[in-house]
Amino acid sequence: MINKEIKIVKEYFNNIVCSSKTIAIVTHTNPDGDGLSACIALYHILNKIYKIKTEIIMDSIFPNNLKFLKPEECIINPYDENKFFDTLIILDCNEPERLDTNKKIFSKAKNIFIIDHHIIKNETINNDYFYFIDENAVSTGIMLHRFLDNVIQGFNQNDKRLYANCIYTTILNDTNNFVNKNTNQECFTLAGELTNYGLNPAEIVYQFLLKTNLNYLKFIGQSMSTLALSTSQKIAYFYSTLTMLKENNLTTQAYSKMMKWTKGIANIEIQVSFQEYRENEFRVSLRSETKDVAKIAQKYSGGGHKEAAGFKINGTLQTVIKTVINDIESFIK
């Protein structure tokens, strides 16, 4: 069942917390400031307020730029095929293929609760699952808060602050610090509300978005030096390679949030980045203020939002760039 009505979501959530002894929480692959911060917020609610044995299941390494959310205070485990849960909650993702763990985890839980704001494809909908999907929601964290606003009163002061930090991070992540087109009244209102729980906005912006080092900036410089325009001059694209990462002593974690560097280029319809994850394996990110880039991503079995989407593709750097850029050129004609 797909739902947006908060009353029904609250009822379902109450049902789950009353009937579950164990809950697993999962987000998408390359966990980010929305999905993973929402997992941490929900973990503390289930664990501390409802006293349910909860764990976050994650196969990636925990990203450095989210360590200020104190992952050491949560139970985070990789996939274990021998473990079963009463409920599995999936945040910021609605496709088994994009989970940050083995998709078999779907068969390890009685109830499946999916909370997400990505576009959902009809063929992936399973009638046995409960979906809370709102493609217009700014972040998954905001969606959590819509049905948990009363519940968090049960937290102590410290946990309220940690919750506020998590939810604020989901907003920063998905609005890029209130500059993306999706920025709306709900996120400003909620940001204000979160300051009542001890949020220090400047501190979170520093920890999550600004804190950096020389190597990272050199890597950005190298990547930006590859910037080019397509024949029509409507697409700006750049690439980053494993060699660049290696030269600067960085991991693929440095690939996150790179599109913010090309956001302001004037007279461009679409920004594209090509990131090398393995030899001849690339992830392509698409951003646009005017075109529905999710449609392009879906053509390559990827997904996302209208303004921000992505997909994976194999091939050499040159062929991948040529194929994708030509394809987008014909798409925007």
Binding site for Mn ion (CB under 5 A): 34, 92, 174
Pairing of strands 235-240, 270-278: parallel
- Least spacing, CB of residue 38 vs Mn ion, in Å: 8
- Least spacing, CB of residue 167 vs Mn ion, in Å: 12
When CB distances to Mn ion are compared, the closest residue is 34
Q: Identify which of residues 92 and 276 has a Cβ nearer to Mn ion in the complex.
A: 92
3-class SS of residue 77:
strand
DSSP annotation string for 230-266? -TTS-EEEEEE-HHHHHHTT--GGGGTTGGGGGTT-T
Q: Identify which of residues 182 and 288 has a Cβ nearer to Mn ion in the complex.
A: 182
Q: Identify which of residues 181 and 246 has a Cβ nearer to Mn ion in the complex.
A: 181
- Least spacing, CB of residue 139 vs Mn ion, in Å: 5
Distance CA 106, CA 88 (A): 7
Q: Identify which of residues 104 and 263 has a Cβ nearer to Mn ion in the complex.
A: 263
3-state helix, strand, coil in the chain (%, to 5): 45, 20, 35
- Least spacing, CB of residue 115 vs Mn ion, in Å: 10
DSSP annotation string for 189-210? HHHHHHHTTT--HHHHHIIIII
- Least spacing, CB of residue 156 vs Mn ion, in Å: 28
Please list, in sequence order, all residues whose beta carbon lies within 8 angstroms of the beta carbon of residue 174, skipping any fewer than 6 positions away. Answer: 33, 34, 138, 139, 180, 182
User: Could you tell me the sign of the dihedral formed by the alpha carbons of 57, 62, 67, 72, in that order?
Assistant: positive
Q: Identify which of residues 34 and 159 has a Cβ nearer to Mn ion in the complex.
A: 34
